[in-house]
Structure 1
Amino acid sequence: MDDKKIYKQLQDWFPELNCKKVPKESQRRDFQNFKAWMVTEKNGRQARSYLMPLHPAQPLRHSLGHSAVLQDMRLDLEKAHLEMEQAAQPTLQNYEQHKAEIGKNYSVQEQVAEIVLSEICSLLRQCGCRMLLIYADQYYWIAVPEHAEKVNKFCKKFEKQFKADEVWIELFSLSDCLKST
């Protein structure tokens, strides 16, 4: 198997990654190396990443400002972050009011993570991008150009590549339940 393909596809989607060498064959299947490879710097000072983390236990503590794709879109990321916090507030307030009835097994943070990811997905869709969601030690997302065939091939190759690390990927879509709110 040519395990360079996902790296080459990412360089095709994001030319800024062309300045980085594809990791050596022995390192290509290590998800930690992949995460490091996805980070760049602009003008030697501003950290930019094409792989964005989102920890499910702290979904409102994300760093949209480091997303290379969102930086390039010149969006008001502080405003976007505030809108995500506002979208999550009703869920958090409802949980606090009804914690005793809901029970301790309910994960409000998972629901907030879903809201945050949906908000990010909406932002990306407005700019002609799709979101790939990676399940690893935490959630990670990648904004990719909207091209169904290439995205599906990328996902299949990605899962094969990082299967040993138990890392999965999917094309994120807005939840029907969240669309109605």
Structure 2
Amino acid sequence: MRSGHDKLIENFKTIFEVTASKEFLNMEGLNGEVPFWIAPYDIQLQDQADTEINHLTKKLNNNGVTVLVLDLFEISVRLLEDNIGLDKMFMVEKKKTKDKFKKALQSTLNLHERFIPFISNTVKKEEPQILILTGVGSVYPFIRSHNVLNNLQSAITAIPTLMFFPGEYNGKALNLFGDLKDDNYYRAFNIFEYKINITKR
């Protein structure tokens, strides 16, 4: 019986085969859908997943595929620092309830005016062939993965976007950590199901 780590390694081999393929890079077989993919993984293997994402990026770059990896948590920290300062945000956290602090975070990060434009502008500047998003679990609940994807739909369309998701995705519902229902999201492809489509052609 395979261990969770062995399965993770096998899954990342599949992800590499898919993302390095011409079909994926050319965004074939989408039937008019947005070029978004989700790679679910076990949150208990987060450290190993982070290591494998780094290996994946290096392998793709070595194969001539340029990749931009953006961590949603790192983006959040940068935007907070630039717009209010982390020290001030820590003071706000001490004074407010959890719910009010969450709203203060969301207001400062401003998904429409700051967060999504930051991602979009970085992609335009770097001109990668693939955008990889990480850090989904670290920004929950003040940044929700389905909100990021919904707002990126009109901003990132010229290249494929792959979000690493610590939980489960069945093509309809996003279940963060395999337990918390993030929300329904229908427009992304499960990266492992896309491998099956390539194999059958």
More relative contact order, 1 or 2 (CA 8 Å, 6+ apart): 2
TM-score scaled by structure 1? 0.33
